[in-house]
Amino acid sequence: MAEGKWTGRAGKLSRALAIVALVIAGFGLTLARYDVIAKMDGFYAMLIGALIGAVAVLIAVVSLLMSLRNKGASRAPAVIALVLTVPFVAFIATRPAAADGAPPIHDITTDLASPPAFSALTIRDDNLAGVDTVEKWQEMHAGAYSDIQPLLLNRPVSVATQQAFELAQDRGWEIASFNKDTGRIEATDYVSYIRFEDIVVIEVTPSQDNSGSVVNMRSVSQFGVSDLGVNAKRIRSFLADLEAL
| Buried b / exposed e along 172-191 (16+ C-beta atoms within 10 A) | ebeebebebeebbbbbbbeb
Query: CB neighbours (10 Å) of residue 239?
Result: 22
Q: Which residue stretches of 34-75 are H helix?
A: 39-67
pTM here? 0.86
Question: What residue type is 175 in one-letter code?
Answer: I
pLDDT at 71: 67
- Could you write out the DSSP letters of every residue in 98-149? HTTT--S--EEES-SSSPPPPSSS---TTTTTTT-SHHHHHHHHHHH-TT--
Q: Measure the CA–CA gap between 217 and 199, rounded to whole angstroms.
A: 11
Dist CA 167 CA 65 (whole Å): 54
Q: Could you read off the pLDDT of 168-209 as tens digits, one per residue?
A: 999 999 999 999 999 999 999 999 999 999 999 999 999 999
Best CA proximity match to 231, nearest among 98, 148, 107, 123 = 107
What span, in angstroms and rounded, lies between the C-alpha atoms of 225 and 109? 16
pLDDT of res. 3: 52
What proportion of the chain, given as a percentage, has pLDDT over 90? 85
User: CA of 121: how far to CAs of 29, 43, 177, 186, in Å?
Assistant: 25, 24, 9, 7
For 80-130, write each residue's pLDDT tens digit.
999 999 999 999 998 877 777 789 999 999 999 999 999 999 999 999 999
